[in-house]
Amino acid sequence: MATEPERDCPLCPRLVAFRETWRAAEPTWHNAPVPTFGSLDAGLLVVGLAPGVRGANRTGRPFTGDYAGDLLYRTLLDFGFATGTYDARPDDGLTLVDAAITNAVRCVPPENKPTTVEIKTCRPFLIDTIAAMPNLAVILSLGRIAHDSVIATLGLKRSAMPFGHAAAYDLDAGPALVSSYHCSRYNTNTGRLTEPMFRAVFEAIRARLPAQG
């Protein structure tokens, strides 16, 4: 079982070339597959699409260093899924509580758009991550592509579980699946996703996962 790709993962040639370009341009950045953040014993797994160039690709922690992370981590803190202070850097001391965060594609893609082949090629790592989480009760997919990748990871049919904001599906076996519009700057600036809408998704998740202690 391999929940994480190696630092110099060779599986996707286009992503390898893009990674090498950024390693040359910004040698102090992470510029490698971004590992899952949080414990595999968690009850909640948040699944995004892929690292951003100046976000997780720079910092090495999912959703850290870009606008999407500002909203995501603020919401996680408000609902008790994190403690500490989010300061957009991996050494800020923030700790997740009964939660983990990963991406469907672990390497940064050009223009933030992985190809269908790249999504499929990286899927075994998501499969193994989910399989390695014995207490997993809820998967939150951020955006349609992440949602569809989770559906494929679980071996289910997309037609039976279409993507929709705040859609929730209870599976016969395994974790529940909840989806949300991605918390990107574009979605929030256009009003497609408002902060109250995003918080409502977490209210529903918290109802499924009572706070520990």
Tokens describing residue 150: 């989770």
Inter-CA distances, 180 with 101, 200, 203, Å: 14, 10, 12
Beta strands in the chain (DSSP E): 37-38, 44-48, 82-83, 95-96, 99-103, 138-142, 168-169, 176-180
For residue 126, give the nearest of 151, 98, 95, 89 by alpha carbon. Answer: 151
The model's pTM is 0.96
CB-based contact 62:104 (threshold 8 Å): no
State how far the Cα of 77 lies from the Cα of 107, in Å rounded to an integer: 26
CB-based contact 43:209 (threshold 8 Å): yes
Per-residue pLDDT tens digits of the chain, which is 213 residues long: 699 999 999 999 999 999 999 999 999 999 999 999 999 999 999 999 999 999 999 999 999 999 999 999 999 999 999 999 999 999 999 999 999 999 999 999 999 999 999 999 999 999 999 999 999 999 999 999 999 999 999 999 989 899 999 999 998 878 999 999 999 999 999 999 999 999 999 999 999 998 765
Domains, the chain, in order of start with CATH, read 13-208 (3.40.470.10)
CB-based contact 99:81 (threshold 8 Å): yes
